[in-house]
């Protein structure tokens, strides 16, 4: 799986090394884990092959030049770092031109002459959640004509919105679990009717239910609800992250994940992993994933037939949503032996303990090679309709 013999793109011709802008942080609730992911990516990038520009986006939306020191971007004392803590300046701002063909990145400081940081050949946006993984920054990069790692505008937006993601899966014949949606106006104008809809849904599928923000990740804003008594509070918690709420029936079974990576001949799936039950957590929430680091089982203890089936479904989900680069697909293996797809993530957790790189490590692709393959795939592609 070496990348040594891949054809070089024009940006890689001998004059200089390709320059990679690693963009991270952002305005979503997943800001901190994005910084942690960026630290791992910065550590893994081959500096003999690429020049690197670390660009953090603060929680308020300012683009800043940051440290290139991964050690300052790690979880410390059960807390995630922020871009403000590692920015080189509290006032300077990084600006990327949206003029196609002009890939110059400029650092501006109040009262100072703008400083050119050089042209960027590819952006690696390790952003999670809204304003980064949802098609917004992808649209900006399309306008600027800069290649980037990962899925395009439509696939990113669809994969971020759990309702429309499930609708597309259903249209392609992929199995999904029962769900209901509470739209913003429903809850704001007639909460009693919205509540009644959920109660009817629970009557059909039983308690408990999982109440989630429709467009968020890392398990932020999710509540397991055992009865009507906790429903309103759970909806309000989800709405802190997104005004649209999705309510899912509990699917009883094992949690199975599978990574998809784009190779020269198309997408391929990794060996799957299993997320075991977490004794100290009600479900696989943020703390179980990142703070307490509940270990997944890689590879998952499945039969050969089950392994082949979940790998096929993962690639089908990647293709159904027109994804590019990478995806982590999350499934339930029901007590009846059927796979049900829960969701896909177009920029999954990418820390060394995250499931996506662990699955590929077990499949034969190291963390550093994984990062290199994603950059190479982005350099081969062009922006615009595709």
- The more confidently predicted of residues 347 and 11 is 347
Residues 347, 40: Cα–Cα separation, whole Å: 14
Write down the mean pLDDT value for the chain. Answer: 90
Residue 6 tokens, joined: 């891949």
Q: How confident is the model at residue 218 (pLDDT cuts 50, 70, 90)?
A: low
Q: What is the pLDDT of residue 294?
A: 63
Domain-located, residue 380: no
Report in angstroms the alpha-carbon separations of 333 from 72, 174, 177, 307, 314.
39, 14, 11, 11, 13
Domain-located, residue 341: yes
Residue 182: alpha-carbon gap to chain centroid: 23
- The more confidently predicted of residues 361 and 15 is 361
Contact between 325 and 244 (Cβ < 8 Å): no
The mean-pLDDT minimum among 68-72, 285-289, 318-322, 324-328 falls in 285-289
Q: What is the pLDDT of residue 5?
A: 42
Pick the last residue of a domain from 194, 223, 249. Answer: 249
Domain-located, residue 3: no
Is the pLDDT score of 319 beyond 70? yes
- The more confidently predicted of residues 97 and 359 is 359
Same domain, 205 and 276: no
Mean pLDDT of 38-48: 96
Is the pLDDT score of 8 beyond 80? no
Q: What is the pLDDT of residue 345?
A: 95
Same domain, 116 and 140: yes
Residues 220, 213: Cα–Cα separation, whole Å: 8
Same domain, 221 and 269: no
CATH of the domain at 226: 3.30.1490.20
Same domain, 312 and 164: yes
Is the pLDDT score of 1 beyond 80? no
Q: What is the pLDDT of residue 94?
A: 93
CATH of the domain at 73: 3.40.50.20
Same domain, 263 and 296: yes
The model's pLDDT over 220-271, given as tens digits with 9 standing for 90+, comes to 899 999 999 999 999 999 999 999 999 999 999 999 999 999 999 999 999 9
Q: What is the pLDDT of residue 381?
A: 83
**Which domain range does residue 122 map to?**
10-150
Same domain, 167 and 298: yes
Mean pLDDT of 162-180: 98
The model's pLDDT over 18-36, given as tens digits with 9 standing for 90+, comes to 999 999 999 988 899 999 9
Same domain, 235 and 262: no
Same domain, 170 and 303: yes
Domain-located, residue 145: yes
Pick the last residue of a domain from 249, 266, 300. Answer: 249
Residues 113, 164: Cα–Cα separation, whole Å: 46
Q: What is the pLDDT of residue 283?
A: 52
Same domain, 169 and 183: no
Same domain, 244 and 262: no
Domain-located, residue 366: no
Q: What is the pLDDT of residue 7?
A: 41
Same domain, 193 and 236: yes
Q: What is the pLDDT of residue 77?
A: 76
The model's pLDDT over 76-117, given as tens digits with 9 standing for 90+, comes to 877 899 999 999 988 889 998 888 878 889 998 888 888 888
Q: How confident is the model at residue 67 (pLDDT cuts 50, 70, 90)?
A: very high
Residue 191 tokens, joined: 């909460």
Instruction: Count how many domains the chain has.
Output: 3
Q: What is the pLDDT of residue 288?
A: 52
Pick the last residue of a domain from 198, 219, 249. Answer: 249
Q: What are phi and psi of 279, to 5 degrees?
A: -60, -40
Domain-located, residue 140: yes
Q: What is the pLDDT of residue 351?
A: 83
The model's pLDDT over 264-309, given as tens digits with 9 standing for 90+, comes to 999 999 999 999 976 554 554 555 554 455 679 999 999 999 999 9
Domain-located, residue 289: yes
Q: What is the pLDDT of residue 386?
A: 53
Following DSSP, what letter does each residue of 195-211 receive, concatenated? Answer: HHHHHHHHHHH-S-EEE
Domain-located, residue 113: yes
Same domain, 129 and 168: no
CATH of the domain at 282: 3.30.470.20
Percent of the chain with pLDDT over 70: 90
């Amino acid at each position: 799986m070496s990348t040594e013999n891949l054809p070089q793109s024009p940006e890689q011709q001998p004059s200089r090394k390709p320059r990679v802008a690693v963009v991270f942080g952002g305005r979503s609730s997943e800001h901190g884990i994005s910084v942690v992911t960026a630290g791992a990516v910065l550590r893994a990038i081959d500096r003999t092959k690429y020049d690197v520009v670390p660009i953090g986006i603060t929680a308020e939306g300012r683009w800043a030049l940051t440290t290139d020191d991964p050690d300052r971007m790690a979880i410390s004392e059960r807390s995630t770092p922020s871009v403000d803590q590692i920015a080189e300046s509290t006032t300077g701002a990084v600006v990327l031109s949206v003029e196609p063909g002009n890939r110059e990145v400029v650092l501006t400081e109040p009262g100072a002459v703008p400083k050119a940081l050089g042209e960027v050949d590819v952006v690696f946006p390790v952003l999670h959640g809204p304003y980064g993984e949802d098609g917004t920054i992808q649209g900006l990069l399309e306008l600027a004509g800069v290649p980037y790692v990962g899925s395009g505008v439509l696939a990113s937006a669809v994969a971020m919105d759990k309702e429309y993601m499930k609708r597309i899966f259903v249209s392609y014949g992929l199995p999904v679990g029962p769900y209901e949606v509470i739209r913003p106006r429903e809850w704001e104008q007639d909460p009693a009717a919205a509540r009644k809809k959920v109660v009817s849904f629970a009557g059909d599928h039983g308690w408990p239910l999982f109440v989630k923000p429709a467009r968020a990740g890392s398990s932020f804003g999710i509540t397991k609800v055992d009865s009507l008594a906790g429903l309103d509070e759970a909806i309000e918690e989800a709405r802190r992250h997104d005004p649209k709420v999705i309510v899912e029936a509990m699917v009883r079974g094992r949690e199975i994940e599978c990574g998809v990576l784009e190779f020269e001949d198309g997408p391929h799936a990794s060996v799957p992993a299993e997320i075991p039950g977490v004794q100290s957590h009600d479900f696989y929430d943020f703390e179980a994933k990142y703070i307490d680091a509940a270990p997944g089982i890689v590879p998952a203890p499945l039969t050969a037939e089950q392994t082949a089936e979940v790998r096929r479904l993962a690639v089908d989900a990647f293709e159904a949503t027109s994804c590019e680069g990478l995806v982590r697909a999350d499934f339930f293996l029901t007590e009846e032996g059927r796979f049900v797809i829960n969701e896909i993530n177009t920029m999954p957790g990418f820390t060394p303990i995250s499931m996506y790189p662990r699955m590929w490590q077990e499949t034969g692709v190291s963390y550093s090679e994984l990062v290199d393959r994603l950059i190479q795939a982005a350099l081969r592609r062009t922006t615009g309709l595709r």
